[in-house]
Amino acid sequence: MKHDPLELVVQDIAEEMAQALDRGRVADYIPDLASVSSDHFGIAIVDMEGRSFVAGDAQMQFSVQSITKVFALTMALGAVGDGLWKRVGREPSGSAFNSIVQLEWEQGIPRNPFINAGAIVVSDILLASHEPSAVIAEFLRFMRMLTGDDTIVIDEQVARSECETGNRNVALASYMRAFGNIHHPVEKTLGVYFNQCSLSMNCHQLALAGRFLMAGGINPDTGLSVVTPGRARRILALMMTCGHYDGSGEFAFRVGLPGKSGVGGGILAIVPHVASIAVWSPGLNERGNSQLGTLALERLVQRTGWSVF
C-alpha cells in the first residue's frame, strides 16, 4: 500500500482537528488544568531515522500528568527489577483512573501501574530511603536524558494545585498503607507522585522521550540501553492493555497502538520500531482521555497503516 508523506499527514490532521466541533471537556478537578483552552491541538512524530514531523501546537507546553507514569515505572523497574510486580498487578482495571473500589477486594495491591493507586506504589518504590526532592531531581534528569533537552521542568504551581486538591490520592495512599503496600509516610510518597504528574513538556519533547520504547529499549541519541528489549516490550504491553484506564479497549479498537494518556490532554503512542508519537488536545472524553488526541491518532493510523494489528 502506498502512504502519504508524513509532513503532509501531520499538517492535514492538524487542520482537520482545528475544525472539529466536539472537542471534549477540559479537566476541571485541578484548577490549573481548568484554565487551558480546548482550542489547542498539537502533534509530533519522531521516527527511527531521527526525523521529526510536527504540526499545530506541537511546541506548546502542557501538563504531562499520567503519561509520566510510563517513565516512573521504567525508573522503578530499573531500581528494583521484577520484584516490583509483587506490589503492583498487570491487569486492566476496568475502572476510572482514581478508583478505590478494587483495593479492598485485592488487599491493597493495585491492578496495574497506570491507575493512580498503582502509580502511587511506584512513587513509593522510587522514594526508597530518599527525600521526595531527590527523587524528583532524578526523575527530571531521566526525562532530560531521554529527550536530550535540559529545559524540561516541573510546573510548581500545578504541583501545589495537585497537592491542595489531591484528597482522593491521599485516600488511596493511606488505604494502601493500611495494607502495608505503602512503606513511607503518605505525604512523602505523594510528594513524589504530585510533582511527577506536574511535569511540563510539549508534544515534540514527549515524542522524543518515548523513543526508547520505539527503539527496543535503546536511547537513539547515545545508542545506550535504557531498558532491555524484553522490558520495553512489556511496558508497551501494559500501555496497550491499561494505558487509557477503562477506555483502553476502545483505544485499542480505534487506534491499535500502545498508548498512555494524561488528564492534561496528552497521549504518547508508540509504533514499535517505527515511530514515537505525541498528541495533545486538552478536551477529554467521558473516560478522561483526550477527545481529539484519540481522533487524531485514529486518522494517523488509517493513513499510515501503523496499527500493530
Catalytic residues: 66, 69, 193, 245, 263
**Residue selected from 197, 206, 232, 236 as contacting ligand DON according to rule CB under 6 A:** 197
The answer to whether residue 24 forms part of the interface with ligand DON (CB under 6 A) is no
Q: What is the DSSP letter of 282?
A: S
The answer to whether residue 116 forms part of the interface with ligand DON (CB under 6 A) is yes
Of 214, 206, 178, 183, the residue nearest 80 (C-alpha): 183
What's the min distance (Å) between Cβ of 225 and ligand DON? Answer: 28
Of 191, 173, 193, the residue nearest 182 (C-alpha): 173
List binding-site positions for substrate.
Answer: 66, 116, 162, 169, 193, 245, 263
What's the min distance (Å) between Cβ of 264 and ligand DON? Answer: 7
How many residues form the binding site for ligand DON (CB under 6 A)?
12
Residue number, 65 or 99, with CB nearest to ligand DON: 65
The answer to whether residue 162 forms part of the interface with ligand DON (CB under 6 A) is yes
What's the min distance (Å) between Cβ of 149 and ligand DON? Answer: 22
**Residue selected from 217, 258, 262, 293 as contacting ligand DON according to rule CB under 6 A:** 262
Alpha-carbon Rg for the chain, nearest whole angstrom, is: 18
Please compute, for residue 251, the number of CA atoms within 13 A of its CA located in the half-sphere on the CB side.
32
Cell numbers linked to 17: 482537528
Q: What is the DSSP string of 128-154?
A: TTS-HHHHHHHHHHHHHHHHT-TT-EE
Decide if 228 contacts 220 (C-beta within 8 A).
Answer: no
The residues pairing with 45 across neighbouring beta strands, listed in sequence order, are 53, 277
**Secondary structure class of 261 (helix, strand, coil):** strand
List binding-site positions.
Answer: 66, 116, 162, 169, 193, 245, 263
The answer to whether residue 263 forms part of the interface with ligand DON (CB under 6 A) is yes
* Residue in the structure block whose three cell numbers are 537513539: 220
The answer to whether residue 172 forms part of the interface with ligand DON (CB under 6 A) is no
What's the min distance (Å) between Cβ of 48 and ligand DON? Answer: 28
Query: Contact positions toward ligand DON, by CB under 6 A?
Result: 65-66, 97-98, 116, 162, 169, 197, 261-263, 288
